[in-house]
Amino acid sequence: MRPAIHIVSAAFALAMLALTPPATAAEKIDPVADAKAFQKFFTDKFPKLKPEDFVTGPYSMNEDLHRQWVEKEQFPPYEFSLEMGKEMFSTPFKNGKSYADCFPNKGIGIRQNYPYFDDKEGKVITLELALNRCRETNGEPPLSYVKDEMAALTAYMAYTSRGKPFDIKIPNDPRALEAYQQGKEYFYTRRGQFNFSCATCHVQSPGERIRAEVLAPGLGILNAMPIYRSEWSGMGTTSRRFTTCNSQIRGVPLNPQDDEYRNLEYYLSYVSNGLPISGPGARP
């Protein structure tokens, strides 16, 4: 089957060199250098764009798409989810406590700090995971990671952080560096019947079309999460996006919030450090 996206192998090989390939056991893991190279690749590839423009995803790719985004933001399709999330967030649990009791600053304006590495558990904690742990700690059943309720909660929390730059920390802990590195390797590893990696679409071909979809750049791709997608006719979480991508390349999706997906989110968030939170967002 001929891929719907264009492959320019020589240019892509040079791009991959600039982005620093996944480290071998003998090489140093250097997130700071990775992030610098990752952002430079995209700003060099799209010199007319400012770094913060990339958080609008495919709508940053050309003037027509940008015009669509401006018009859509006047009557955002995610507004219903935002209102639902605000109500959910402010409604106490049966024990009288609320989400505000589980987070720093009562959960307001903290989206830019997730995911983070928990040194006690030795693993990456995403905002979605933290919300369900909050619920379970307070005697409430966990929410589906891919359904409307989780999307609504994360939409509201993202909205309270709009404009704040991603500020993801990687502590000087071998376990944190390894989690980051595993996320990076997952991003560049090919899988599925189409033999695509995440980078095939989101580094190699942003702005191009695969079927009817305009591919988003990898830089800033999580800053707008959760997103309303016309394809879904509804909202979607980061977990939903990851599992959907695996399905689209005819691979086997992992379970939402498996270590691999959390590490992937850690990597993608870190290399977008400094770019503003724009969620909730909308996509074609």
Catalytic sites, residue numbers: 245
Region of residue 72 (left: phi > 0; alpha: psi -120 to 50; beta: else): alpha
Which residue in the block uniquely carries the two structure tokens 């560049």? 188
The residues, ordered by sequence, that sit 6+ positions from 127 with a Cβ below 8 Å of its Cβ are: 111, 114, 115, 154, 157
CA distance linking residue 188 with residue 201, whole number of Å: 11
Query: For residue 86, which amino acid is it?
Result: K
Token pair of 213, please? 């979809």
Query: What is the H or E stretch that residue 142 is in?
Result: none
234-249 exposure pattern, b = at least 16 Cβ within 10 A, e = fewer: bbbbbbbbbbebbebb
3-state secondary structure of 100: helix
Cα torsion 239, 5, 218, 212: sign: negative
Eight-class DSSP state of 57:
G
Helix (H, G, I), strand (E, B) or coil at 235: strand
